[in-house]
Amino acid sequence: MDSALLIHRLHFAFTVTFHYLFPQLTMGLAPLIVALKTWALRRNDETWNQAARFWARIFGINFVLGVVTGIPMEFQFGTNWAHFSRFAGGVIGQTLAMEGMFAFFLESAFLGLFLYGEKRLSRWGHWSAGVLVFVGSWLSGYFIIATDAWMQHPVGYMPGPQDVQLQSFRRLVLNPWALWQYAHNMSGAVITGAFVMTAVGAFYLLSQQHREHGRIYVKVGVVAGLICSCVQLFPTGDRQGRLVARYQPVTLAAMEALYTTQHGAPLHMIGQPDVENRKIDNPVSIPKMLSFLTYKRWNAEVQGLDAFPQQDWPQNIPLLYYSYHMMVGLGTIFIAVMALAALWLWRGCLYESKPMLWVLLLMFPFPYIANTAGWLTAEIGRQPWLVYGLLRTSEGYSRNVSAGNGMFTLLGFLGMYTLLAILFLFLIRREIEHGPES
Amino acid sequence: MPTLWFLIVALMMVAYVVLDGFDLGAGVCHFCVAHTGEERRQVLRAIGPVWDGNEVWLLAAGGTLYFAFPLLYASSFSGFYLPLMMVLWMLMGRGLAVELRSHLGSPVWRSFFDGIFVLASSLLTIFYGAALANVIRGVPLDQTGYFFEPLWTNWRVGAQTGILDWYTVLAGVVAFAALAQHGALYLVTKTQAEINLRARHFASVIWPLVLLLTLASLAATIHVQPAVLGNFQAHPVWYFIPVAVFGSLIVMAYQLRCVAADAAGAAKHEKAAFACSCVYLAGMLGGAAVGAYPEVLPARDPQYSLTIYNTATGAHGMRVGLVWWCIGIVLAAGYFVFIYRKFRGKVGAEAEGPY
């Protein structure tokens, strides 16, 4: 691979992966904070209000990090992916500009008011500011997903000599791919929010401090976590998978490391793809399951990689395969853990069950891994295309920015983001240590 | 239609510079006007609730530029690769400094972030000035519509230009001084007592410098890029812009005197002086936009220049965009009026809010 191309890809991949660690928590926490706040106002309960304030502080720190790591994303479309921007800017520029106009203005205006303006507002005024922040952050997510969905499944455009132009705004914004991807992504974000909230609650209960808050966080987190973990699998994950099967069959074959076309294709639960010999090593499979999941028929034919020219295969099949399996495997574990915790909660013994609280505490990194793996699956699965079927990744980067300059700024971001991560962990640890009652 | 979008993007840029300009300017004069830790908190409290919203104008303007003129976005962002990356790092540093400074009580922590705030804000003003000067002067575009500029070459305005040469550095200094004054005038309207006095003094002292630099940059621009005069000569009505620039500077000086002389009506004059600074900045940028139109990125070799016509997206996209843009701008203006009203008035010493 051309080294400049590789560096520009790593540049975007690294900065966007790091960036998305923060929005997934803010988007996931936003509805939970609104729920806490609503409960506090309806029951006139100060503990729940304190809980809402505590999580708003965690939200605030994440939001700052999300903002500062988010600005480079918009810039990089132009700086590192100039040819792609020229090609597709007339279409995806719409959704990106709308994100600024409709989501960022809303969020930035009302977050300050929600975090610091409680005394300046009435009780329900403050609640409304929280709701507007929630709406802003979820709108922002939609515009980004609509942008990515267009790259996965371009619709509503008109090809020109050097670029594509918008033909149907409605089709761009209501891209079926965007709707399911959005549902899948947002429920994934709420899973992160719920697991983090549960983990902090479990930590307070295990360390015998702020017990009342600990119980609230575990309760809210487990309920939200269970609902969203299930929604993540069905219907959103299922429908997303069927879209991939329909519009990117070669991606599906690579995700499952299915090298040969077959009727009644098995689903590999475990196994290592062997790229050189075009097979899968040490598979543990469920016969005919892939056919059933994809087409709802046990003997349906599923196209393998051999049905497609090799130049259209995703280049990194092992990474794609492992990301996808990691995402699905973790998603399944989330359902199991949350179902068990919900059962304990229902029976009234969750707050005293040390082993279960330990599990809930230690689970919090895994939704981050699952969300990241999911995005890796989507973006590596789209390769070798930047805009599926229209523009190859190798044609999209800025050819006037040399590999050396790209490397310089990539290293700059690596260093800077390492410092940011340390700073972030330090500040979050402080908030958790101070607790919700300060 | 491209002309309308040129106007829209220009307006959003002006909004960004006028609004975020005072946040950056407050950063530039932070150490000069606020000496104690408590005073520095007041400076941050003056910009704290609004800086993020102000910065959104940059993102919204960038996004609008992206969809209306994709080739311009692609060409300029990749060509100005290195300075833009540095601008990103500065924007990140500024945002973190404003938001994180108050999280710890330690004086070392706070001084550290004060330093980052001043450094990042100051460099940003200089980079913005230099960036605008690069766009006015022109860049070495070739027939592909792309270019790449090194940070500097021989500091002359020749065929092989760098990001920095004597002209762009001059513009950087102009932006630095003008935004420092803008920030100081904003702080005058938002603060009381010592900080208010020092900010006023700062604005008065820097005023002659701004006047001189404005004259110098005007002369230098006409020398480096004589084409900017074309639109003014063709439509002399545009000469009201330079008149407004210098007029606002003069009224600003008068208002600053009035603040000192008329203690009862001081608040009114403070606001008037800040308004003059807004007009001044809008005039400087508006003048540049009129001078450049319809070129948006002139090439050193004029046949390769990028104009609004050869970079614009299709007509349908522009029409659709106009619909949501009008809705969006009304909403955004509404939020801004609401937020500025909620946080109106001077910030005090009492501890409310986090900054």
| Mean pLDDT in residue range B286-305 | 90
CA A26/CA A56 separation, integer angstroms: 9
DSSP A324-376: HHHHHHHHHHHHHHHHHHHHHHHHT-GGG-HHHHHHHHHTTHHHHHHHHHHHH
What's at A327, amino acid-wise? M
Closest-CA distance, A292 to chain B, in angstroms, reads 42
Residue B352 pLDDT greater than 60, yes or no: no
Residue B348 pLDDT greater than 80, yes or no: no
Q: Which residues pair with A286 in a beta bridge?
A: A267
Q: What is the mean pLDDT of chain B?
A: 91
H helices within A175-287, ranges in order? 176-206, 211-231, 238-247, 249-255
Closest-CA distance, B340 to chain A, in angstroms, reads 10
| Mean pLDDT in residue range B144-165 | 85
Question: Which H or E run contains A91?
Answer: helix A82-98
Per the confidence metrics, is the pTM higher than 0.90? Answer: yes
| Mean pLDDT in residue range B20-34 | 94
B232-238 own/partner pairs: CB under 8 Å, 24+ apart: B232/B290, B232/B291, B238/B290
Closest-CA distance, A125 to chain B, in angstroms, reads 12
Q: Give chain B's end-to-end CA distance (angstroms, integer).
A: 44
Task: Pick the closest to residue B12 from B294, B240, B344, B328 (CA basis).
Answer: B328
Nearest by CB to residue B77, choosing from A69, A79, A167, is A79
| Mean pLDDT in residue range B232-239 | 93
| Mean pLDDT in residue range B2-23 | 95
| Mean pLDDT in residue range B191-215 | 93
Task: Pick the closest to residue B189 from B36, B54, B33, B56 (CA basis).
Answer: B33
CB contact under 8 A, B317 and A94: yes
| pLDDT for the residue numbered B151 | 87
H helices within chain B, ranges in order? 2-28, 30-33, 37-47, 51-68, 70-79, 81-100, 107-137, 166-190, 193-224, 229-234, 240-261, 266-292, 308-311, 315-342
Residue B49 or A205, more confident: A205
Q: State the pLDDT confidence band at B265, using cuts at 50, 70 and 90.
A: confident
Q: Are A85 and A426 in contact (CB under 8 A)?
A: no
CB contact under 8 A, A89 and B67: yes
Q: Are A312 and A392 in contact (CB under 8 A)?
A: no
Nearest by CB to residue B59, choosing from A74, A405, A408, is A74
| Mean pLDDT in residue range B207-235 | 93
CB pairs under 8 A between A and B: 213
CA B305/CA B142 separation, integer angstroms: 9
User: B104-152 pLDDT, tens per residue?
Assistant: 888 999 999 999 999 999 999 999 999 999 999 989 888 888 988 888 8
Closest-CA distance, B307 to chain A, in angstroms, reads 15
| Three-state secondary structure readout of A150-184 | HHHCCCCEEECCCCEEECCHHHHHCCHHHHHHHHH
Nearest by CB to residue A100, choosing from B60, B73, B352, is B60
| pLDDT for the residue numbered B160 | 78
| pLDDT for the residue numbered B284 | 95
CB contact under 8 A, A108 and B71: no
Mutate: best of A75, A170, A422, partner B, most B CBs <10 A: A75
Residue B254 pLDDT greater than 70, yes or no: yes
B146 to chain A: which residues are within 8 Å by CB? Answer: 82, 398-400
Question: Which H or E run contains B301?
Answer: none
| pLDDT for the residue numbered B55 | 93
CA A147/CA A379 separation, integer angstroms: 13
Task: Pick the closest to residue B288 from B354, B206, B218 (CA basis).
Answer: B218
| pLDDT for the residue numbered B264 | 80
CB contact under 8 A, B74 and A85: yes
CA A225/CA A227 separation, integer angstroms: 6
Q: Which two tokens stand for residue A424?
A: 């972030």
Q: Are A81 and B98 in contact (CB under 8 A)?
A: no
What's at B168, amino acid-wise? T
Q: Are A245 and A303 in contact (CB under 8 A)?
A: no
Closest-CA distance, A423 to chain B, in angstroms, reads 10
- The low-confidence residues of chain A, meaning pLDDT below 50, are none
Q: State the pLDDT confidence band at B344, using cuts at 50, 70 and 90.
A: confident
Task: Pick the closest to residue B311 from B325, B298, B320, B326 (CA basis).
Answer: B298
CA B18/CA B21 separation, integer angstroms: 5
